[in-house]
Structure 1
């Protein structure tokens, strides 16, 4: 194992867009260039990455596949390098089918906390469409339904629709997920996780709709635009006086985060939760890989703390390089 005085190196492997959004341009010295050989850029004790673009594009783009292969080869050849987060764990959350399955199991594992997720239906291809109306009924889904793309990354993944009747199911474009829409008073609670710490941020969300089918036309919307802090959308404007909804119980959220950290094997993720306006049940509607942490001023100090915890498992002393890294964060 490395001596206490050895230099510890952290590498960031993020898209330019992600780096700019997280204001990480000051850390160019720590950023990995995937288009160049990783060997000379290392060795790295820990790599913090979000390779979603590369993973999704690799399915149809040989250049992206090559970048991913290079990254995986480096990681395989350096088993002591810690990845935040493990690639297979992150990859599964790019598939909403996989994340819905994870969310649906929370009802059992967190039974004591009355945490659930909405009933959902996977639609794999056009072959599923003739039977979709019957399956919606047999699986206990209820109108309105929210429709989301299967791929949970990229601009298209934010394009969603609200379907109000069996006729509206004609607007479904596979592969996608249908979820029962849960009235929640137009408030979304974003839970941001950084290692053993988490933070809740309140955001605007979709207003309440009368339960049950109706002849309203399908509403197409962009979830990013609806739930941004500064959003001003007709979809978020409540039509009626909504009774006071209690915020999520901090104990229940802590239990949810603890369970998801185990289930996912991840340290950097976000969970979108809402409060059912009728039952006050904490309802999990989405899990996000390495989110933007908007509205979490403690993100950098929490990330540093988690990095230190991981590295101290390898070394008991904080070396000069890590002190410099600490200075970069604390001077922000």
Structure 2
């Protein structure tokens, strides 16, 4: 057997197939949703072994690893991984903690989209932007005046500024009137709500691979409803069920997937700007248009278990990483 580049004989003296070791540090919830038995079996059949990292032992004492796959929070873990990357440059870490940290803040996560000009790369395949937004860091009583000064239009989606993995960081609210905004709890991001026909596109990125899934989202807010409704209302996790072309109540113009060249360029540019290989983009199409899109969220290491065929896509991605690494090694 070849383990991290070394060759070992099996019990019968016959050399076994090359194995690559992926050390993982995941929460129990992430492990259960991601490392499903079918995935582990497929990976093992293709020469990839998943090994749990023991958080009670020094990381350098474990392994050896070809790849480290992680999604843990906390300053201590970030420092452990940063130090390990310095002392073990031969190990691929998915992904660098400083790059992940960029997505922990909802103000900074979308700035890279703002800076893009995709029309330079894919002609008239579409436009991608972000909804107008502002950050409120303190004093909820000042929010109505701040919104007026900024010229943001109602309704507004309120999101916690920091994404820390807690359930609270995913609590969203929809505000229909300006004065109810003072009921919200800073620090938060206020984002203009864009009518998008009740469909959201989740764009999963795994290295160079892209997979798009439709999800149900919030329905359009009409001007008449906006005039009648007041208050701030919590939003449930509305994108839990996938929409499909079979949904008779959805306009085909709404469910049509964004152009593939646009998605490929967007994913490639964000990969380079963010320094991440595992992320997903939440994107909507402005209602009444075919080619105007908005990115409303970017998430690191999302729920790949909900992505069709993720087992094959992810296994091929891991294999490409280790094979690329061995190709780069100088011959003895």
**TM-score, normalised relative to structure 1:** 0.79
Q: Offset of 1:241 from its aligned partner?
A: 8.4
The structure where helix makes up a greater share of residues is 1
The structure where strand makes up a greater share of residues is 2
User: Which of 293, 310, 315 in structure 2 is aligned with 1:304?
Assistant: 315
Q: Offset of 1:316 from its aligned partner?
A: 3.7
Per-residue CA distance 1:277-317 (angstroms, 9 max, x = gap): 03331111110110012432322222222222222222149
User: Could you say if the C-alpha distance between residues 294 and 309 of structure 1 is closer, same or farther in structure 2, counting changes exceeding 3 Å?
Assistant: closer
Match for residue 237 of structure 1? none
Match for residue 180 of structure 2? 168
Structure 2 unaligned regions, length at least 5: 8-18, 42-48, 244-248
User: Which of 274, 279, 282 in structure 1 is aligned with 2:289?
Assistant: 279
User: Could you say if the C-alpha distance between residues 15 and 142 of structure 1 is closer, same or farther in structure 2, counting changes exceeding 3 Å?
Assistant: same
The Cα RMSD (Å) is 2.9
Q: Distance in 1 between matches of 2:263 and 2:50?
A: 36
User: Could you say if the C-alpha distance between residues 69 and 256 of structure 1 is closer, same or farther in structure 2, counting changes exceeding 3 Å?
Assistant: closer
Q: Secondary structure at the match of 1:49?
A: strand
Match for residue 52 of structure 2? 31
Aligned positions, number:
294
Per-residue CA distance 1:157-188 (angstroms, 9 max, x = gap): 22110011111211221111000000111111
- 1:190–1:203 contact (8 Å) kept in structure 2: yes
Q: Distance in 1 between matches of 2:176 and 2:191?
A: 12
User: Which of 307, 315, 325 in structure 1 is aligned with 2:326?
Assistant: 315
User: Could you say if the C-alpha distance between residues 3 and 170 of structure 1 is closer, same or farther in structure 2, counting changes exceeding 3 Å?
Assistant: closer
- 1:293–1:299 contact (8 Å) kept in structure 2: yes
Q: Which has the larger radius of gyration?
A: 2
**TM-score, normalised relative to structure 2:** 0.79
Per-residue CA distance 1:60-116 (angstroms, 9 max, x = gap): xxxxx3x4433333332212221111111111101112113223223x355643111
Structure 1 unaligned regions, length at least 5: 59-64, 232-239, 318-332
Q: Distance in 2 between matches of 1:219 and 1:24?
A: 36
- Where do 1:205-244 residues align within 5 Å? 205-211=217-223, 214=227, 215-222=229-236, 224=237, 226-229=238-241, 244=253
